[in-house]
Structure 1
Amino acid sequence: MKNYQIATIPGDGIGKEVVPAALNVLHTIADVHGGLSFVSTEFPWSCDYYAEHGKMMPENGMETLQSFEAIFLGAIGNPSIVADHISLWDLLLKIRRSCEQSINIRPAKYFKGLRSPLTNPNDFDLIVVRENSEGEYSEIGGRIHKNENEMAIQNAVFTRRGCESAMRYAFNLAKKRNKYLTSATKSNGIFHTMPFWDSIFNDIKKDYPDIETESSHIDALSAFFVTQPEKFDVIVASNLFGDILTDIGGAVMGSIGIAPAANINLSGKYPSMFEPVHGSAPDIYGKGIANPIGQIWTAKMMLDHFNEEELGQKLLDIIEEVTADNIKTSDIGGNSTTLEVSNEICNRLKAL
């Protein structure tokens, strides 16, 4: 029996609705499979926790999380209680950095039962590997002077180790898929960091002669995500570029509300974290209409991380069957509730 120890942080807003729904799906998978179980420990860290305690998590929060095999996060943010930069940096980014989650992966695909805004989506199926710990989101910089002399400086930090880790992860992923890897760059406009990125990519690709590669400038690449997403397989990108591309990926699927993400610790020393891309949507919290697909697809990515890829694929197939049968929430054109969607997925899992 495989027992996976999971720390769950529902967080804010609809995270408190979609995390329980996704956990119910995971427990159903465990019951059907019979050879594994998921032991979930919930932590109430959120903006509400901040309002009561003056911080997003307790002092020993990171030490507590590091004893688990994975972290399953719902959504963070409620600007009516806590400014976004505080909730983001004191919980989400704190976990990513303290647990050395240097890789972020986000898939986007033509999804059965979901209407893409593209006229001809052509069954696209791509995945973005994003460097997740440095790049343009470095904390180095500052502001000086006042009035008309005020100045802000933000330093982008690219290390060979960070770039190479993301690129090798992407190459290895491409080997399992369609053997085609695209590097997002902007070396014609960014003088130092992007030529550095390109040179590392060109060095590493020599170790993967069976992988077809290309480098594409981020502005053109963003346009191609809309005009011809079907041409892409795996894309590797810096922190900022990967962030932009994955939001476009969610948009061309038809809803960012179904998009999943994984923050990967490569060494296994600390847990990886799995979270949907959508926000906390406080305006619909408590109405029972939150879309659970993003969180459930995120659970599929966690199964893949645990080397339960066959189960993960079965789950994704059933998710698509359910949406194709119009059992979906109102944000993607249906009239089902959060529980009706997750319960239908559970029922179809039981029927396997």
Structure 2
Amino acid sequence: MKKTYNIAVIPGDGTGPEVIREAKKVLTATASKFGFNLNYIEYDFGGERYLRTGETLPDSALEELRKAHAILLGAIGHPAVKPGILEKGILLRLRFELEQYINLRPVRLYDERFCPIKDKKPEDIDFVVVRENNEGLYAGAGGVLFKGTPHEVAIQESINTRRGVERCIRFAFEYARKRHASTPWRGLTQEDIAAGRRAQVTLCGKTNVLTYAFDLWERTFHEVGEREYPDIKRNYAHVDATTMWFVKNPEWFDVIVTDNMFGDIITDLGAMIQGGMGIAAGGNINPNGVSMFEPIGGSAPKYTGLNVINPLAAICAGAMMLDHLGETAAANAIENAVIYVVRNKLKSLAAGKMGYSTSEVGDMVANAV
């Protein structure tokens, strides 16, 4: 009997429904080939529902979503809704209440034609960012005094707990170990390999200025690494230096672990060096609960309904979802199909410049699986 996965689908706003349509097309074709079923349960959360009902995410929906095997999200953001309402009411609430404490962002270049950095090839840009997803500046701690006056005071606090930091760091080490289970990372020296190292994890922070938060991060990083992961090389880089090395020497990175704010920033730069938002996918992970997968770009309202948006990020998010569910062969088949289409078919990864429509790109990937 075929295994069935219940997938909660939130197409969302703007071009979200268009890219999710293509992701489902590819996922359905892949499931058929690899012998499992995907049962999609759709939800209309987003800007249109909010404008109609004043509701972002009902409490009852959270209980339903907890019962799904995974969540596939399109995009959240509506031009008629004040920024922050949908993002906090839907995205952040899902991440926090479902305790999706890891944001996982692979950064992999599929075709050097689409890299804005001169002379960088696919083997040079192949790393993963592990971003803490439930704490930091995004925890919502702070307040305002004397708002609207010349004496206004705004305070935004970064919350970092030993529990939250340690579980994020441990996830990064485990992911690095799994990523190089068969072959050591190509950036290791012969001395590293002789010492039994298989992979590298870089802590990205700002220890010289954020002396409380990143003292906790740095101590935890080295304590956990030394005690439990002698096979993983440990490295540290300030966040400003990290952005510099992303551009100058991205091949220096294997797995990066960082806090919520820094992770949010550096992953957008990562998207650009891998070819743009049209190819960048991410996962919001609860290793012991329900996880959510999404293209990291926005809702792109100016392209809505034109059938020109790049669906590959959503398709790659679907591949990440299958890998998370244990369907690794199926996930690899989707990624290989995406690589084939990118290298052999597309003129660009930008919306309206691909040489094909959104639906045609989805068809090509589905046929290549």
Shift of 1:327: 3.3
Shift of 1:39: 0.3
Shift of 1:55: 1.1
Whether 1:94 aligns to 2:93 is yes
Shift of 1:57: 2.8
Shift of 1:149: 1.3
CA distance in 2, matches of 1:96, 1:233: 25
Whether 1:236 aligns to 2:257 is yes
Overall identity of the aligned pairs, in %: 38
Shift of 1:76: 0.4
Task: Tell me which amino acid in the other structure corresponds to 2:230.
Answer: P
Give unmatched runs, 5+ long, in structure 2. Answer: 180-184, 186-198
SS in 2 for 1:250: helix
Shift of 1:66: 1.3
Shift of 1:313: 1.4
Look up the match of 1:288: 307
Deviates more, 1:112-121 or 1:293-302: 112-121
Look up the match of 2:58: 58
Look up the match of 1:171: 173
Whether 1:192 aligns to 2:191 is no
SS in 2 for 1:56: coil
TM-superposition CA deviations, 1:90-132 (whole Å, max 9, x none): 1111111110100110011121275100002232100000000
Go from structure 1 to structure 2 and tell me whether the alpha carbon gap of 1:73 and 1:114 turns closer, same or farther (over 3 Å shift).
Answer: farther
Look up the match of 1:319: 338
Look up the match of 1:154: 156
Task: Tell me which amino acid in the other structure corresponds to 1:28.
Answer: A
Go from structure 1 to structure 2 and tell me whether the alpha carbon gap of 1:23 and 1:118 turns closer, same or farther (over 3 Å shift).
Answer: same
SS in 1 for 2:168: helix
- Report how many residues are paired: 345
Look up the match of 2:3: 2
Shift of 1:334: 2.1
| 2:204–2:242 Cα contact (<8 Å) kept | yes
| 1:22–1:299 Cα contact (<8 Å) kept | yes
Task: Tell me which amino acid in the other structure corresponds to 1:255.
Answer: G
Deviates more, 1:328-337 or 1:3-12: 328-337
CA distance in 1, matches of 2:346, 2:240: 37
Give unmatched runs, 5+ long, in structure 1. Answer: none
Shift >3 Å, 4+ stretches: 327-330
Look up the match of 1:126: 127
Shift of 1:329: 6.3
Task: Tell me which amino acid in the other structure corresponds to 1:63.
Answer: E
CA distance in 2, matches of 1:103, 1:38: 24
Q: What TM-score does the superposition give when structure 2 sets the normalisation length?
A: 0.91
CA distance in 2, matches of 1:137, 1:89: 10
Shift of 1:330: 6.4
Task: Tell me which amino acid in the other structure corresponds to 1:208.
Answer: Y
